[in-house]
Amino acid sequence: MPDTDLFKAGITAQVAAIGLMQIQNMDIDALLREIVKSEKDVLEQKNKAFDPAKDLNDMKVCLANLEWYKKKCENDGQGSGYSNSFKNKMAVTMKLLSL
């Protein structure tokens, strides 16, 4: 995390460069505090470590749940999943209605 005084000084220089320091009815200190706070939040988000192993583990859990669901549907005689079982039931119903 950068030194707060240097960080604020850099933001103050940028605010001055775009001309916001010259507006009379503006609370410059409040503006600078808000900018520094939001920029620190952005830096903290960027500094959070990306953990590909965690994402992989989360994906493995989702895949295991999907495999369980497919196996459950097949054991219940519904086919490989709900949508397939729904389509199959509709096809059978339509076939029976056309007789």
Cα 55 to Cα 63: distance, rounded to the nearest angstrom: 12
pTM over 0.85: no
Q: Where do the domains of the chain lie?
A: 4-47, 52-98
Residue 11 has a pLDDT of 81
pLDDT 10s digits, 58-92: 999 999 988 888 888 788 776 666 666 556 666 66
